[in-house]
Amino acid sequence: MFNAALQQHLNGEGTTVAYCWRLTAPSGLSLGFTTHDHAITLLGKTYEPGIGLDGTQAMAQSNFQAGQEEALGFLSSDSLEEEELAAGLWDNAEVEVFLVNWQEPEQHELLRRGSLGEVSRDRNVFRAEFRSLAARLSEPKGRELSHQCHADLGDTKCSVDLNDPAYARRVDVVRQEAGNRLVIEDNTDVSAGWWSFGRLTFHTGPYTNQPLHIAGHIQEQGEDKITLWSPLIMELDYPLDATITTGCDKKWGTCQGKFQNSQNFRGFPHIPGNDFILAGPDAQSAANNGGKLVG
């Protein structure tokens, strides 16, 4: 129900309202911005005034498609830095938009809730896509007929326990090599490729609690080296304490051999491929006996 006091204020001849934006990053860091020219304290949070963040016109669809809206911000804001945006620290950040009477902040109403999507930059201005909750309705649901598993490693469908020391452990990241390759220690009992497609989470530094996706894992000259999908833009002081978690390429052989979890495999490894479907029968082959091909 809409805030009665705020509604009464809006019905008056003059209003003193402003928009407040609250951003909460996956790391837990929270920032507040307002369109008002003075700071506003709302629900124990201080919202910065001026040019920190603003919103464009919002468009809502009647057929449950995601609405279109952008958040505009200036990189001169002391709280929101260009490096943090480029490093992806604010990707998928939770966004809450309030309408508030800046003279009486207890008169407020939550207008929209969603998340930040794609972020682009134009000189000293950034544009962040605002994804409403309706955007989730356009995500694929249900099972897909594919050779690969559609479950995520460690979720309820997969059931692999990622707290098992075999699949996750604390490590020291000792240095960074060219590009986005990192060298880790405390990792001598696994084979090359074990951490491929996994995640690395730092416990200190600017990437704290921000899961970083691992593209590959090799062993070279007695050292374990992982390559991240995205480069590390923020400057880091090594060594750094981190947790590394193994990954899965969603193939049947990996599920069976690496995790011994074939009973929970959510793909269809024996589904016929295009070549099989398009191939005609061979009358001379002893395999055409009507028997099953697998198992």
Q: Domains in the chain, ordered, with CATH?
A: 4-138 (2.30.110), 168-245 (2.40.10)
Q: Comparing C-alpha atoms, which of 97, 120, 93 is closest to residue 17?
A: 97
Q: What is the structure's pLDDT at 282?
A: 67
By percentage, how much of the chain surpasses pLDDT 70? 75
In this predicted model, what pLDDT tens digit does every residue of 157-200 receive, in sequence order? Answer: 999 999 998 899 999 999 998 778 999 987 668 889 999 999 99
Q: Taking the mean position of all CA atoms in its chain, how far away is CA 195?
A: 19
Separation in Å, CA 242 to CA 80, 94, 167: 25, 24, 14
Answer for the pair 268, 205: CB distance below 8 angstroms, yes or no: no
Q: What is the structure's pLDDT at 258?
A: 94
Least confident of 15-19, 72-76, 139-143, 185-189: 72-76
Q: How many CA atoms lie within 13 A of 62 on its CB side?
A: 0
* Assigned token pair, 236: 């880091």
Place of tokens 């600017």: 206
In this predicted model, what pLDDT tens digit does every residue of 70-80 receive, in sequence order? Answer: 555 544 456 66
Quick one: which H or E segment has residue 215?
strand 212-220
- Enter the pTM of the model: 0.62
Q: Which residue has the higher pLDDT, 103 or 141?
A: 103
Average pLDDT, the chain: 81
Q: What is the structure's pLDDT at 77?
A: 56
Separation in Å, CA 21 to CA 49, 64, 95, 125, 167: 11, 24, 7, 17, 39
Residues 6+ apart with CB under 8 A from 26: 91, 92, 93, 209, 210, 211
Q: What is the structure's pLDDT at 183?
A: 93
Q: Over 166-194, what HEC string results?
A: CCEEEEEEEEECCCCEEEECCCCCCCCCC
In this predicted model, what pLDDT tens digit does every residue of 46-104 receive, in sequence order? Answer: 998 865 455 555 555 555 555 555 555 544 456 666 677 767 777 788 888 899 999 99
> From the CB of residue 213, how many other CB atoms can be counted at a distance below 10 Å?
13
138 three-state secondary structure: helix
Place of tokens 């001169």: 76
Q: Taking the mean position of all CA atoms in its chain, how far away is CA 235?
A: 21
Q: 107-127: b or e for each residue (b if 16 or more CB lie within 10 Å)?
A: bbbeebebbbbebeeeeeebe
Q: In terms of DSSP bridges, do strands 181-184 and 168-176 run parallel, antiparallel, or are they unpaired?
A: antiparallel
Separation in Å, CA 162 to CA 151, 155, 195, 259, 265: 14, 9, 12, 11, 16
In this predicted model, what pLDDT tens digit does every residue of 224-274 receive, in sequence order? Answer: 999 999 888 888 899 999 999 999 999 999 999 999 999 999 998 888 777
In this predicted model, what pLDDT tens digit does every residue of 267-291 receive, in sequence order? Answer: 988 887 777 767 666 667 666 676 6
